[in-house]
Chains A and B, each alone.
Chain A
Amino acid sequence: MPNNNSFIYRLKDGSKSFAAIFFIILLTSCTTEHNYRGVPSPHWQELSGEQKQLIVDQAYEKEFGSTDKKSGN
């Protein structure tokens, strides 16, 4: 016998779906951390525009700088 007094039981079907979707979105969007050029997103967001550019330029040079020199560009 289901417990008629339980919170979940008394919610309408629409409310249950809403609650389930809300929690899935909450858990998936909130807990995913991006990584920008080796810097985690919480740290990245605190950097100024110049500091971000510096990290991007450095990563670019590291990745493509030696290739450019080898190919003579």
Chain B
Amino acid sequence: MKRSHLQIAILILFSCFFLAGCASPKNIIAPLKYQDDIKMHVPKNAYIYWISGKHVSKEKTSYAVSGSSGQGGIGEAVGSLIFAAIDNQNQKNNPSQYTHEYGKADAAVFITSLRDALTEQNVFKNTELVTNLDQVRSQDVLIKIYFKTARITDINNVTLTVTLSIKTGNKPAYEKTYLVQNDPDKAFKVKTFLEKKTDASQKLLTAIICGIKQWNEGHK
């Protein structure tokens, strides 16, 4: 094998690593499961309507390319500059790879998980997701979930502020606002951002179902 062939092989290998770096890992939460029994049944159709609010994203910690210490000389400095330029351009073109956020995609996964939990446990006669309120009749149950804010703190903790509103017939709407945050990291186990998002979403699912139970108690 000629030396130039070997260099081309290295070049292709480098490109493969570069492409592999572009393939991002899992970013959004997986569908959630509600483990407990809900133990209630409302013989009405329910419609879930959701509103996506403000999402505050946070930049991921970036690892700066270390500058030349004088040992590597001009080659290392040029290399650092090229990598910094590529990284900068990549950051401009792919903002989602460089930011942590609880966005619309996570909210959509949450809403379908809530619908699945209510359907599986037969809480209502029928549970559907709607995007148009004209589909909902006055005798049906309208569950509105408003994702007011999703904040990411400095240590990547996720805080969700969500308002639940349930309305049926001419009765006044039941409204409750929840503020949930993921469990803090334990001494030797630092959770990933995705784990923290999932943790906060699971807590929110429990809180929302608890709210539906409370509404049902007051509704009787």
Contact = CB atoms under 8 A, between A and B. Distances in A.
Interface of A: 7, 10-11, 15, 19, 22-23, 26-27, 30-33, 37-44, 46-48, 50-51, 54-55, 57-58, 60-61, 65
Interface residues of B, number: 32
Interface of B: 4, 7-8, 11, 15, 18-19, 22, 24, 26-28, 50, 52, 86, 89-90, 93-97, 103-105, 108-109, 111-112, 129, 131-132
B15 A46 contact: no
Nearest to A23: B15
Contacts of A37: 104
A21 to B, nearest CB: 13
Given A26-B15, A27-B86, A40-B96, A47 B22 contact: no
Contacts of A39: 103-105
Given A11-B4, A27-B86, A61-B131, A47 B93 contact: no
22 contacts: A7-B7, A10-B4, A15-B8, A23-B15, A27-B86, A33-B94, A39-B103, A40-B96, A41-B96, A42-B27, A43-B96, A43-B105, A46-B26, A46-B28, A46-B105, A47-B28, A50-B112, A51-B109, A57-B131, A57-B132, A58-B52, A61-B131
Contact of A54 (B24, B96, B129): B129
A47 B131 contact: no
Helix, strand, loop or mixed for chain A's interface?
A: helix
Contacts of B15: 22-23, 26
Contacts of B27: 42-43, 46
Given A7-B7, A54-B112, A55-B108, 5 more contacts: A39-B104, A47-B109, A48-B112, A50-B112, A54-B131
A65 B135 CA distance: 13
Contact of B105 (A30, A44, A57, A60): A44
Given A26-B18, A61-B131, A42 B96 contact: yes
